Amino acid sequence: MITLKGEHIYLRALEPEDLDFIHEIENNHEIWEISNTITPYSKFLIKQYLEQAHKDIFEVKQLRLVICNYEDVALGMIDLFDFDFKNRRAGVGILIKDAENRQKGFGKVALELLINYCKLDLDMHQLYCNVSEDNEKSLKLFENHGFEIIGLKKDWNYVNGSYKNEYLLQILLN
């Protein structure tokens, strides 16, 4: 069993205390493009979500972990979604909440920890992610961790009055 701890950050399960943190993220209009969100979420709905967060990945097909520094400050989240046990694959999403915490290596380490967890603890075969064609920093992050662009989805997302292309990236773990 590996640990979900890096030199400067660690990954942990969602806690009830994360209500305000998740509410801020889910209702930040600037990042709705990344999460494919188009409506705000109430604290009531997020509280209900957190009450179900104890269920395991095999039941809910998702795992959301909080990226924290060692002062126990929540910096962002990293998700496995569309978990498919039969085919041993899942999608990956990552977000560092505040701009001042981006480009500091937190996402890099979080992704490394998650990849190792998927490989060693979940015995996954592959991970994939979807990244907007113009999100160069995310493309670089995933490519630097072995993800390869395997396709381009044309006019995939409607954002601010126009369509954007989205890359599909994949990594084979074993």
Residue 3 has pLDDT above 50, yes or no: yes
Would you state the pLDDT for residue 1? 42
CATH number at residue 89: 3.40.630.30
- List the domain range (segments joined by +) for residue 65: 9-125
Give the total residue count for the chain: 174
pLDDT tens digits, one per residue of 51-81:
777 777 778 888 999 999 999 999 999 999 9
Would you state the pLDDT for residue 27? 80
In a domain, 89, yes or no: yes
Would you state the pLDDT for residue 57? 78
In a domain, 156, yes or no: no
* Cβ–Cβ under 8 Å, residues 88 and 125: yes
Q: Exposed/middle/buried for 73, CB within 10 Å: 0-12, 13-18, 19+?
A: exposed
Would you state the pLDDT for residue 17? 92
Six token digits for residue 154 = 């044309």
In a domain, 42, yes or no: yes
In a domain, 166, yes or no: no
Would you state the pLDDT for residue 142? 98
Closest Cα to residue 97, out of 26, 9, 148, 16? 26
Arithmetic mean of pLDDT over the chain: 90
Averaged pLDDT for residues 88-93: 97
In a domain, 159, yes or no: no
- Rounded to 5°, the CA angle 112-59-64 comes to 35
Residue 132 has pLDDT above 70, yes or no: yes
